[in-house]
Amino acid sequence: MELTKNQIQEIENYIEVNNVDYLDLKIELLDHIVSDIEYKMNKGFSFESALQLTKQKWSKHFRSSSSIFLGLQFSTSKVVLKKAVKEFRSFYVLYIISCILPFVIFRNVLVDFTENTISYVNSFLKISTFLALLYFVYIIFKVSFSKEKTTYSFILKTQYLGISLLFVSQFFTSYFDNLGKINIAFICFSCAGFATTYTCHHFYKKHLLEIAKNKKRLCL
């Protein structure tokens, strides 16, 4: 039994009331909930009864929750968080590698840099950090002022503190000490900052893709 437009609109309102106004999840949730209700109605339940039973089933998925993977201070509906954690988990490994790998390499490989090489490497890292910082600020600005919300924009907001890594690397560090030895701690800072920038770039592109998909659906 197919639902009417008014009944579907009531379900959409239920989803939005539960703060799941994320473009990539709204359609997916709507399909699941509509299917649940239609199944119950085919079993003889009225729409109102089927809706109430389905709400009881889905209520646990809409409870506010947080995760250590994205920061306990960031909370959202459980159904949103589940997808966000699944999407982000591999990047958590990237962050660990970006901090540990430079430390291991430069701790065990002793390299003597000439004065010219020190100047070149330092300039390269400073310019790279500055460009990454600008791009990071651009992403924050675009997402913060965007009216559309996706699971990916939620993930992005949990990563904004990572800009501090680039800020410190750009303005408060030197990659070499007075003896010309590489400063491992600050190299790790920069690598972690670059990893965060790449992560934000990845999820920003996915955020834009979901917005484009939604606009295409509305045009159909």
Q: Hey, where are the domains in the chain? A: 5-62, 66-219
CA gap 54, 48 in Å, rounded? 10
Q: Mean pLDDT lowest for which of 34-48, 84-98, 102-116, 195-209? A: 102-116
> How many other CB atoms are there within 10 angstroms of residue 148's CB atom?
15
Give residue-wise pLDDT tens across range 48-84.
Answer: 999 899 989 888 888 888 988 888 899 888 999 999 9
CA gap 57, 103 in Å, rounded? 49
CA gap 199, 99 in Å, rounded? 14
Give residue-wise pLDDT tens across range 117-139.
Answer: 778 888 888 899 999 999 999 99
Q: Mean pLDDT lowest for which of 14-23, 87-96, 134-143, 205-214? A: 14-23
- With 0-12 CB in 10 A as exposed, 13-18 as middle and 19+ as buried, what is 16? exposed
> How many other CB atoms are there within 10 angstroms of residue 165's CB atom?
25
